[in-house]
Amino acid sequence: MPQSKRLKYLLLLVLLISAFLRCGVAVYVQRQLERQPGRSYVIEGDAEGYWKLAQTLKQGEP
């Protein structure tokens, strides 16, 4: 197998593995959040702060 073709297959394999891992982690995190009613963020303080900032900016406030 030529080197360039082998490299393409290796890159494709790495990308597929990373996509499956990312999807798996997303499903795990979503299930964990669904088990905790009223919680919609993994890192409550950080995400909540950005959400409030976005709402403030949307309303045109500084």
Distances in whole angstroms, Cα of residue 31 to Cα of each of 8, 25, 48: 35, 10, 19
Is the pLDDT score of 9 beyond 70?
yes
For residues 3 and 22, the model is more confident at 22
CB 28 within 8 A of CB 42: no
What tokens does 44 get? 């409550």
Question: Tens digit of pLDDT for each residue in 34-44?
Answer: 998 887 777 76
Question: Tens digit of pLDDT for each residue in 10-34?
Answer: 999 999 999 999 999 999 989 988 9
pTM beyond 0.75, yes or no: no
What pLDDT, on the 0 to 100 scale, is given for residue 1?
A: 66
CB 41 within 8 A of CB 47: yes
